[in-house]
Structure 1
Amino acid sequence: MRIGVFYRTDYLNSAKEVYTKLKEHFDVLFFKDSSEQLSEVIGGELVEPKVVISVGGDGTVLRVLKKVKCPVIGVKAGRLGFFSGYLLTELDKLVEDLKCWNFIEDRRWMLRVEIENGTFFAINDAVLQKDVEQKIVDFAVEMTDGSFFYHADGLVVSTPTGSSAYALALGGPIILPNVEAFEITPMAPQFLATRSLVIPSTEKIRITVNDTVNLVVDGDVVGKVREIHVRKCSKVITLLRPKSYDFSTSIKEKIGYGKMVLKNGSE
């Protein structure tokens, strides 16, 4: 089996550790995060991996997911690691799981974000955000059931996957990955009663702004806009997790949400 190892450059030592362990058992290709294509020409033929191991944090996993069609496995070398199923101390387990293909397939859908001169795909979120020197701006969100207006510094449109990222930091709800909905969360709204809005995934929404703002897709600034159209995309990404994985455990371990504090009446 041919495996790719993709890494962020400041995690080179961790990536080498993963590469060395996997090389004992598999045919391994090594890619740094500046690589545009995760494939190599070997013997005159284009060779692609069956699975890619991402070494780093969640941002590294996001980048590799947008470059490949094959499944991705995250090995945590960064901070939170919501996308990561393995630690650097679990490489022996990773090898055994690869040999037996002993994984849960965690399939996540994406958002399609359309602007006048391009289309982008968001795994986590699409963010409309004013510049620091700009005054607070007005956002109009149009959908099947009418219109909503926000007077705020920005708006975050997130998938269920992204609900535990930027949107959560702004006070939005955590949406379980298998829920067919996405959410809109305002950034620093003028009116305290303004809260997140959860929308069916079948909706196609149009957002217009009274001034030009930044469009940020999965953490990357992609342009300046005054209007975007957002809907669920047919594209899906696949993460491979160990059989022991479940979403509640991940949330409890990463951010402490829903974690039991008291046991038998004492801390």
Structure 2
Amino acid sequence: MRIGLLVNRGKPAARRFVTGFVNWLSAHGHEPVLTPDTARAFTLKVARLPDAEIVRSVELLVALGGDGTLLRAARLVGPRETPVMGVNLGGLGFLTEFSTAEARTGVTAFSRGQHREERRMVLACRYGRRRGFALNDCAVNMGRTGRVIKVVVRADGEFVNRFSGDGLVISTPTGSTAYSLAAGGPVVVPTLAAVLLTPLAPHALAARPLILPADGTLEVELAAGSEPATFNLDGQQVWPLTPGRPVAIERAGFYVRLVTPAGKSWFGILRDKLKWSGSQV
């Protein structure tokens, strides 16, 4: 089986783990494929392709690093829906659910068709001629002036609210444990179909997070006279925004197929990552 590896080489554990993992894959009949830069950096004699070409030629893409690495992998895969498996090389890692100790078992299960995977919804965004998508979230953020911005939101053409503050996070359920959570948004089961709106430091106590249906079109735009702002997609793309020109956000016509560890529950991951101390008794 041909397996692509997308590696965050900046992680301290990357060199040692990736070298051993590549050797194990080869010894078990798999063909690991790396980018030329990673193969050179780790002195590995493997198939080498640019990352955009890797996703077109593999049956499984393994993201080795943190959640940012997996978000990059999801962006490369896009509508192809190549399964993505995340291996955590250190850090919080809600998306990179496999530990380094579980990575080999995960690949073996996948190769035998005994793996578990979840279909995670994606947001498709349009702004003029620009197109992009987000697995976690997209956000309207204040610009260089650091001054309050005003964001108008409409759902299927109906006015929702005008939010004044530092910005607004538009999140998928998968992204509910990321930027939205840090801004006070709710935690949502990641396999649900919904869109979360979480204001950033709003200048009104009544401006609370909202959960909207996934089917429909959401429009966000800077109000007339607002300070400059940007539109950030999963921390991977940034678009400058102009007042009066809306960004259209919809549920994408494809999913990210996320390979997850057998025997782990989402609630168990929450308890571990968020350090919940409650017990059943």
Same fold? TM cut 0.5 = yes
Task: Confirm or deny that 1:178 pairs with 2:191.
Answer: yes
Contact 1:54 1:61 in 2 (8 A): yes
The answer for the alignment partner of 1:147 in structure 2 is 160
Task: Confirm or deny that 1:51 pairs with 2:66.
Answer: no
Contact 1:18 1:88 in 2 (8 A): no
Correspondent of 1:72 among 75, 84, 87: 84
What 5-or-longer segments of structure 1 have no aligned partner? 41-46
Task: Confirm or deny that 1:39 pairs with 2:43.
Answer: no
Percent sequence identity over aligned pairs: 26
Classify the secondary structure of the residue corresponding to 2:272. helix
Contact 2:121 2:191 in 1 (8 A): no
Shifted more, 26-35 versus 62-71: the winner is: 26-35
Classify the secondary structure of the residue corresponding to 1:54. strand
- TM-score normalised to the size of structure 2? 0.84
Matches within 5 A, 1:186-197: 186-197=199-210
Q: How far 1:204 moved relative to its partner?
A: 0.8
Matches within 5 A, 1:117-156: 117-144=129-156, 145-156=158-169
What 5-or-longer segments of structure 2 have no aligned partner? 39-48
The answer for the alignment partner of 2:127 in structure 1 is 115
- Structure 1 residues 32-91: Cα deviation after superposition (integer angstroms, max 9, x where no partner): 689442439xxxxxx711101111000001111121231011111031111123211234
Contact 2:125 2:248 in 1 (8 A): yes
Write the letter of the residue equivalent to 1:261.
G
- Structure 1 residues 122-148: Cα deviation after superposition (integer angstroms, max 9, x where no partner): 111111001252421111111245321
The answer for the alignment partner of 2:178 in structure 1 is 165
Q: How far 1:261 moved relative to its partner?
A: 2.9
- TM-score normalised to the size of structure 1? 0.88
Correspondent of 1:222 among 238, 241, 259: 238
The answer for the alignment partner of 2:6 in structure 1 is 6
Contact 1:215 1:223 in 2 (8 A): yes
1-structure distance, mates of 2:196, 2:123: 11
2-structure distance, mates of 1:52, 1:234: 21
For these two proteins, the number of residue pairs brought into alignment is 256
Classify the secondary structure of the residue corresponding to 2:204. coil
Contact 1:4 1:38 in 2 (8 A): no
2-structure distance, mates of 1:128, 1:101: 41
2-structure distance, mates of 1:105, 1:66: 18
Q: Identify if the C-alpha distance between structure 1 residues 214 and 95 changes in structure 2 by more than 3 Å, giving closer, same or farther.
A: closer
Q: Identify if the C-alpha distance between structure 1 residues 221 and 121 changes in structure 2 by more than 3 Å, giving closer, same or farther.
A: closer
Pairwise CA RMSD: 2.1
Write the letter of the residue equivalent to 2:250.
R
The answer for the alignment partner of 2:22 in structure 1 is 19
